[in-house]
């Protein structure tokens, strides 16, 4: 997973209009037994910034994994999940254990994330329960390693 990944994505949610975006996702090794993660999205036409996240993937025994993630919107996500190795890649499936927000953050109650690497292709999917809506598929992107 280490490297810089870029590609198009699309978003849907019951409370907003559908939208497209360009995602850049960087995984880097910092010398400890975890990966740093830095994510940014931009508008596909204007190139204006849309969203950003930073965090760490923390491998655990028995193919388990944790993700600690912070967003500038005032949201912090703590995930637990699993890693499944495939012959040509890996699948990381994560669900929130906790989602916390500042007083001014939008209310998010649950998030699920799935990262599937096959060679130099990374498929990213995200589901979210927020604003009174149940867990709903929200984001999907296909990124290639640069």
Geometric angle at alpha carbon 99, from 98 and 100, rounded to 5°: 115
Q: How many Cα neighbours within 13 Å face the side chain of 50?
A: 18
What is the predicted pLDDT for the residue at 30? 86
What is the predicted pLDDT for the residue at 46? 98
Contact (Cβ atoms closer than 8 angstroms) between residue 55 and residue 68: yes
Using a 10 angstrom Cβ sphere, with 0-12 exposed, 13-18 middle and 19 or more buried, the burial of residue 98 is: exposed
Reported pTM: 0.94
Strand locations in 1-146 (E)? 3-13, 16-29, 35-42, 49-60, 64-70, 75-86, 89-101, 108-118, 121-130, 136-145
Number of compact structural domains in the chain: 1
Q: Which domain holds residue 118?
A: 3-145
Q: What is the CATH number of the domain that holds 24?
A: 2.40.128.20
> Tokens 């007083």 label which residue?
103
What is the predicted pLDDT for the residue at 19? 98
Q: At 75, give phi and psi (nearest 5°).
A: -105, 140
pLDDT of the chain, 146 residues: tens digit per residue: 999 999 999 999 999 999 999 999 999 998 999 999 999 999 999 999 999 999 999 999 999 999 999 999 999 999 999 999 999 999 999 999 999 999 999 999 999 999 999 999 999 999 999 999 999 999 999 999 99
What is the C-alpha separation between 60 and 56, in angstroms, rounded? 13
Contact (Cβ atoms closer than 8 angstroms) between residue 47 and residue 41: no
Contact (Cβ atoms closer than 8 angstroms) between residue 115 and residue 124: yes
What is the predicted pLDDT for the residue at 5? 98
């Amino acid at each position: 997973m280490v490297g810089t990944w870029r590609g198009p994505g699309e978003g849907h949610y019951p409370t907003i209009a559908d939208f497209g975006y360009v995602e850049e996702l960087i995984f880097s090794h910092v010398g400890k037994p975890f990966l740093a993660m830095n994510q940014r999205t931009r508008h596909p036409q204007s190139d204006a910034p849309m969203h950003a996240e930073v965090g760490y993937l923390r491998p655990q025994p028995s193919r388990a994994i944790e993700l600690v993630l912070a967003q500038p919107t005032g949201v912090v996500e703590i995930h637990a999940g699993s890693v499944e190795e495939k012959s040509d890649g890996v699948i990381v499936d994560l669900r929130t254990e906790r989602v916390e927000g500042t007083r001014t953050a939008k209310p998010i109650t649950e998030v699920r994330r799935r990262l599937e690497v096959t060679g130099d292709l990374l498929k990213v999917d995200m589901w979210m329960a927020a604003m009174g809506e149940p867990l709903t598929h929200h984001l999907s992107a296909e990124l290639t390693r640069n």
